[in-house]
Chains A and B, each alone.
With several copies, the nearest count.
Chain A
Amino acid sequence: MNMIGSLPPESQSNPDRRTMSIAVKFFASLREQVGKADTSVESQTVSSVQDVWELASGGRPMPANTLMAVNMDYVDANHPVVEGDEVAFFPPVTGG
């Protein structure tokens, strides 16, 4: 990530309040709950993965065990997002 350490994430990710476009994916039970697999958010105020969830899920509370990835790397909900990121939300994994 091309963030700088000490600034608050919001001002880093979108310093001049351009409209960012973020691709969003939901998998498995979250896909069924939210009712969509793929969507995108376009916003001037989104700065973290948590913000993306709120916009993309229609404001529903995030289940406690939700896993999140930005550009296919695991992150937590505070992780900043930038224009063009792909953010994914999914329940605990059950492969193998």
Chain B
Amino acid sequence: MTVEIRNQDFDPYQEVSAYQREVLQADGKYGATAVFVGSMRDFNEGDEIRAMTLEHYPEMTEQYLEKISREAKQRWDLIDSLIIHRVGDVSPNEPIVVVAVWSAHRAAAYEANRYLMEELKSRAPFWKKETLVQGSRWVEKNT
């Protein structure tokens, strides 16, 4: 059960792969891995987005993500989970978040992954500010 905040671009697939190989060490135990990657789009609410700054509440963010990771592990039969979330200045197409969940069977992996993302989107203290062609704005609708 790992939570990381990163202030640099990262490759979500290399991260999941490396975690599985180096940290998880459960070869042959998991039959299901569900991975979600949220990445920055270059358009939002009808406008072209040039860049984004992701602010967070250091410590509270990590604590909150650890709390929902524990909750997911209590609720589903999981082997492990990994959440990496980006902060700082983000460019279009860069990953913002990756959530990976390992379990013996697929239902638990799918459901827990979705649960983590919904809880993260609705309650984890992150805020996005978008740089438009002209000016900038805080994102208000987190769809």
A94 touches B97 (CB 8 A): no
Contact check: which of A25, A72, A74, A90 meets B127 at CB < 8 Å?
A90
Report the separation of the CA atoms of residues A28 and B142 in the bound assembly, to the nearest whole angstrom.
Answer: 14
Which residues of A are found within 8 Å of B124, using beta-carbon distances? 93, 95-96
With A28-B138, A29-B138: A95-B127 Cβ-Cβ less than 8 Å: yes
Report the separation of the CA atoms of residues A28 and B125 in the bound assembly, to the nearest whole angstrom.
Answer: 10
A95 touches B97 (CB 8 A): yes
Q: Which residue of chain A lies nearest to B85 when distances are taken between CB atoms in the complex?
A: A95
A96 touches B57 (CB 8 A): no
A96 touches B56 (CB 8 A): no
| Segment with Cβ contacts to A, from B11-19, B20-28, B115-123 | B115-123
Question: What's the nearest-Cβ distance from chain B to residue A64, in Å?
Answer: 13
Chain A interface residue count, Cβ-Cβ cutoff 8 angstroms? 16
A27 touches B122 (CB 8 A): no
- Which size bracket describes the interface of B in this complex? 20 to 34
B59 touches A94 (CB 8 A): no
Q: Which residue of chain A lies nearest to B116 when distances are taken between CB atoms in the complex?
A: A96
Which residues of B are found within 8 Å of A29, using beta-carbon distances? 127, 138
B128 touches A72 (CB 8 A): no
B54 touches A72 (CB 8 A): no
- Known pairs A92-B140, A94-B127, A96-B38 / 12 extra A-B pairs, C-beta < 8 Å: A28-B55, A28-B138, A72-B64, A90-B125, A92-B142, A93-B123, A95-B97, A95-B120, A95-B121, A95-B124, A95-B142, A96-B121
Chain B contacts to A: CB under 8 angstroms: 38, 54-57, 59-60, 63-64, 85, 96-97, 106, 117, 120-129, 138-142
8 smallest A-B Cβ distances: which pairs?
Answer: A95-B126, A28-B127, A72-B60, A96-B121, A94-B142, A94-B139, A29-B138, A94-B128
A-B contacts, 10 of them at CB < 8 A, read A25-B57, A27-B55, A28-B127, A28-B138, A88-B60, A90-B57, A93-B126, A94-B127, A96-B96, A96-B117
